[in-house]
Structures are given as structure tokens and as C-alpha cells.
Amino acid sequence: MVDKLKKAAWFKGRKGPVVLVIMDGVGFGKYADGDAVATAYKPNLDWMFKNCPNTKLKAHGLAVGLPSDADMGNSEVGHNAIGSGRVFAQGAKLVSNNIETGKMFEGKAWKEIAGNVIEKNSTLHFIGLFSDGNVHSHIDHLKAMMVEAAKEDGRDVGETSALTYVDPFEDFMKGLQGCDARIASGGGRMYITMDRYGANWAMVERGWQTHVLGEGRQFASAHEAIETYRKETGAIDQDLGAFVIAENGKPVGTIEDGDSVVYFNFRGDRALEITAAFEGGAEFDKFDRKRVPNVVYAGMMEYDGDLHVPKRFLTSPPSIDRVQGEYLCAMGVRTLAVSETQKYGHVTYFYNGNRSGKIDEKLEDYVEVPSDVVPFEQRPWMKGAEITDVILKGIESGKYDFIRCNFPNGDMVGHTGVYQAAQIGVECVDLCIGRIKKAVDAVGGVMVITADHGNADDMYEHKKDGSVSMENGVPKVKTAHSLNPVPCIVYDPAGQGEYQTTLREGLGISSIAATVMNLLGYEAPEDYDPSVLIAK
């Protein structure tokens, strides 16, 4: 239980609800070239930037609990920060500390993983994203575990950077003494294994067939697989097909009874489904696993603290307490949260501090709009209209005091690397904001517009001198998140001058929680990061 909030003497709230709009992946670009946000036609946002109090917020690195300001933000840590009102050390930092201090290898989970392999003279498998982006995983964590294992017996990067990681890693494995280490299988993160929120279980099925069963197109090496798929399809790395490394027609790394498996991603949303495939019993019905090996399985972290998934994990997740939602429920605030499948968990699970389910069934309604299972560049508007329909219905009903939503377009379409599609995605969000603005006007509400991190604002790779990196005569596409700040706009048509029109600067997105509390008529807890509002 949390203490009740104090009423704000300087702000009594508004007649209508507070509507929080999170424009996923929409930031302020550093470069003119490649900024699909700046070049999009967005009359509603442009008007608000000119006429409404607004500021820039930090959404990466230390501002969201990552190890350094060289680390790009992401939707998971972004929504953790927005919903909790404070900054908690996040996955990458926790795992790095756990490895550096040696605590990971002293823990029960690692000892069970390694002990099983030693006892049974079996194989230790590592599955995860090959990357140094510190968003889903980090290659250094994988290396550290492999070094330790030898002693005892990959979108967060450029769109075509796979070989810059695969080739040096092959050399690294050759240098490991006392073990035979191989890359045994792989594929693009948007094609195999890493689905989330049950949007496309076929991805997980392809991952299971590839990693566990060794079924799929065979190659002599990962290098050969990547080069071949690129030449045949022209796909960027995240969309590459599945591949299996084989010798004499036999896969080199199928997962068998008695083996140990570590899923080394620390981010939870894309880890839950493959974990369910490994840990699920006869009740598992998402796809035909054909063969379920009896293994000792561990995740890098506990991906769901309420459901305790996985059963075994190497690093404890951040303990996020006293989130905004708990305080609002304590005050009887009626809440609606909505997004489409791709980001539904972000405005619920992650917003609530990695907590499954509702905080208060009577006070909260959560709405998931099913996402289309198509490449996002082919339908960049995604489910913006449908999400907005739910919001408008919620506003008009008079049932809710606080409505929060996520429009995924800037992030999900930005990840495709298709500039025109990213522009359309941003333009769709602007249209939706225009619709919400009219509804807010009609009921005397307030709208706060922000983002969890940047993406569509930085669609091209740039050199150190700021010029665009070119490849075959065209700009080299960037599909990763950006390090750019994000907007915070306060649209308050019924405002009576209770706060200054200039908002605080130099804050992070964790300040959104206190801002919403203020606009609802409450003072935020003393240890929450400060609101962007400055009382007169």
C-alpha cells in the first residue's frame, strides 16, 4: 500500500480527464538529413510547439537507468521511467554489475546451468540477440559467460552490421581454451524467435525449429548464411531468414536432453514467448514443438516478476516500487490504458513497473487493439485510428480521470529503415493527436504529449563530421533507436495561469509521472523526479 497523495494548493485539476499520449520513437533529430519527424507533415504538433508550453526531455542513458549516456533508450526502460516517476538501474547495468562482481557465477542459477553440463558431459547453449546496443542484450555479457563456462569445463545496431559482430566473435571463440564453441543457428530478429505480446507466434515457432530442432536451410558458417541471404533477398539484418550451421549435412548444435540453455537477453518483452516454449508442459498449445528436450533452462533476468518467469534466472530485475498507478488508485483515480498489441504491454506491464495485471480491477480498464501481422513499412499507419477511437470513446464517456496511450508508429515503422513509411507513420500520429485535441477541447481536459525514446528522428547513419554515410550511392539506413531528446507538450485549453508557460528544462522522461499527478490536482511524492510544471 502507498500513502495517499496531498492535494495541490496551486492547481485544482480540470473538468475533463488528463490524456497522456506517448508517441513511441518520436524525438528531436540532431541532423536535418534523415529526420523523418521533422520532414513529416504534422500541422497539429507544429501548432502545439508554437502555442503550447513545451520542453525537451532526456530519454536515453543515465536518464532511464542505463549504464552510460552512450546507451540508447528503449520502450521498456522508457515506460518504466514514465510510469514510476524515478530512475531505476535497468537490465544492462544490473547484468554488467552482476558479472563484474562475479555474483552471477556464484549464484544458484549459474551453478545449476554449469553443473548440469559438467555432470552430464552435455552442451551449453546460448540464445539471444547478437548486439552491443544494451537494449535487449549485450555481446560482452555473452562473452563473459562463455569465458566462465570454458574455465569450468544480435536491431540495436546498424541495419547491415551483422558481420562486424559475427566475424570477430568467431575469432573470439577460437581463442577459448578447453571447449568447442560454435555459432549453431541464427536469423533476423524480426523473422525468428523474438516475437512479443503474442503478436506472431510463427516467429517463435521458426526459432524453435532453428535453434532446438536444427531444422532449416543449412550453411557452413554464419558468415556464409548472412552473405547469401543479403545477396538473394536484399533484406536488412533484422529480416534475414533462419539458418542452421551444419557439417556433412548434420546440424552442429541441436538442443538435446540433458543440455543447458541460457537465454541471454535481459529485456523481458521479447523473451517471454520462447521461454514459455522451453518451460511449458503439455498445456503449451501455441505451436507443435515436435520434440521438447529435457534441459536446464535459465533467462538472463526474471522477465515477469508476478508470474515468476522463467523459473531460473541469472540476474534479479530492478525492484520498481510505488509506481504512479498505485498512487492514482489509492486516490480513486479512474484510468484507461490503451495501445495496439505491439505496445500494449508498455502502457500496462512496463508502465506499472514490470507488474502483470491491473493494480485495481474496479478503477482501471486496459484495452488492447490487435496489431496487424504485416511488415510495418507496408502499413505505417498501423492501428492509430483504432487506438484513437478507443480514446475518444473514453473521453466522451466521462468515466475516466486519466487516459494513457501509446502510438507505436515512430518506433515500429522507424525500425524498418524505410524513410517514406516512417514519415507516414509520424503523420498518422499527428492526425490522431488532432482528433484527441478536439475531444479534449469539448470536455475541458488536458493533454500531455511525450515519447519514450527517439527513432524516426534519426533514419540515416552519419559520420563524425555530421555528413550522411553513403552505401552504393544512397544514404545508409539506420534502424536503431536514437540518442535524441523527446518532446513534452502540455495542451491545456482551460488553463487559468496556474503555472508558468515556460516548462522546466534538463529533465528526463521520469518527470512525466509527477507532471500528470499535478495536472490531476495532486502533489507528487517527495522522492519523485520533479514535474515539468513550475507553479506561479
The helix/strand/coil state of 232 is helix
Distance CA(24)–CA(451), nearest Å, equals 5
Instruction: Classify residue 235 by burial, with Cβ atoms within 10 Å: 0-12, 13-18, 19+.
Output: middle
Distance CA(24)–CA(425), nearest Å, equals 11
HSE of 306, CA atoms in CB hemisphere, 13 A: 11
Distance CA(104)–CA(1), nearest Å, equals 32
Distance CA(348)–CA(486), nearest Å, equals 21
| Total residue count of the chain as it appears in this document | 536
What does the H/E/C string look like for 21-81? EEECECCCCCCCCCCCCCCCCCHHHHHHHHHCCEEEEECCHHHHCCCCCCCCCCHHHHHHH
The residue with cell 544512397 is: 474
Instruction: Indicate which residue of 68, 75, 397, 531 is catalytic.
Output: 75
Per-residue DSSP letter, 125: E
- Per-residue DSSP letters for 236-265? -GGGPPPEEEEETTEES----TT-EEEE--
Distance CA(402)–CA(503), nearest Å, equals 21
Signed CA dihedral, 536, 81, 429, 20: sign only:
negative
75 catalytic residue (yes or no): yes
- Per-residue DSSP letters for 274-316? HHHHHH--TT--SS--S-----EEEEEE-SBTTTTBSSSEEEP
What letter represents residue 401's amino acid?
D
Contact 227, 233 (CB under 8 A): no
Contact 271, 299 (CB under 8 A): yes
Q: Find the helix or strand (DSSP H, E) in which 366 lies.
A: strand 364-369
CA-atom Rg of the chain in angstroms = 23
What grid cell was written down for 138?
A: 549485450
Distance CA(281)–CA(176), nearest Å, equals 36
- Name the residues annotated as catalytic: 75
